[in-house]
Structure 1
Amino acid sequence: MNAAEQATNVELASKIATVVNLFKTEFPDAKSDLKPWKNDPETRELVDPDSIDIGFHFPGISKSWRSRSVLIQIRFYEDPITNVRRAIGIEASGFDHRGEVWRLSTIEKWSFVGESLPASSVAEKLKKICQQILEVFNNSCNLDPNVNE
């Protein structure tokens, strides 16, 4: 779900801003997009309500990224027994004019797959950012999007 829609309280908005800052610190040319999904019925059906999605766009096609845009999807799970909601992983995808060209999932192997993978230096920085994002969202925070402050 678009990060702009998930920022329903001060704490979540602050954590989303932290994610943007983490990414832009490593990749200052990137422009953030807190609404990477269109607001139409077809797209809304595909959007995961248990994620916070942020897009980043580069001027032109980045040779080191081997893409023009990156979509970061922070996935959440709420334990039905404890009612604790936490970030369980991140899906990152790189896109160019052909569509998705690579993907990284932190759910299992933390490995890249695709036809045009980013340079190893970029891949390592992105993995580091993903680790930091998980720490941001899983360190004593209220992740309930229905709680307004």
Structure 2
Amino acid sequence: MDTELIFRLATEHDLDRIVEMLADDELGSTRERYEKPLPESYLKAFKAIAADANNELVVASLEKEVVGVQQITFTPYITHQGGWRATIEGVRTSSSERGKGIGTALIQFAIQRAKERGCHLVQLTTDKKREDALRFYEQLGFIATHEGMKMKL
């Protein structure tokens, strides 16, 4: 990258670009609604995340263009002697910028934030259909130690 990648908390102004990136892949296009104006549900979710001290919606910018996003949630647990965990979700990079190290930098940023917050563990999930993402996370040191389960409501 020729210019410096900047990480910051997302603002409401970034929401359109965030949803655009989330919808810009095979799986995201089936579950997101990137349209103008955005559905109100995105703004409600953004406001809830922004108001929660244990959630950070982080964007990565090159100059003034948002080129990446991720959500980091910090959760206290009774297990592990009352330790905290960081969960990384919704990681996306702009399709025009993929393969340039932005995803790696996003994850490294999340790991650093987890350390700063005193977390003992960083966790994430990715859809089993995202084979490239699985390899990517493994290359960064993540290990598939658990079998994840979900139930749609």
**RCO (CA 8 Å, sep 6+): is it higher in 1 or 2?**
1
Q: Which has the higher helix share?
A: 2
TM category (shorter chain) comes to: 0.3 to 0.5
Normalising to structure 2: TM-score of the pair?
A: 0.38
TM-score, scaled to structure 1: 0.38
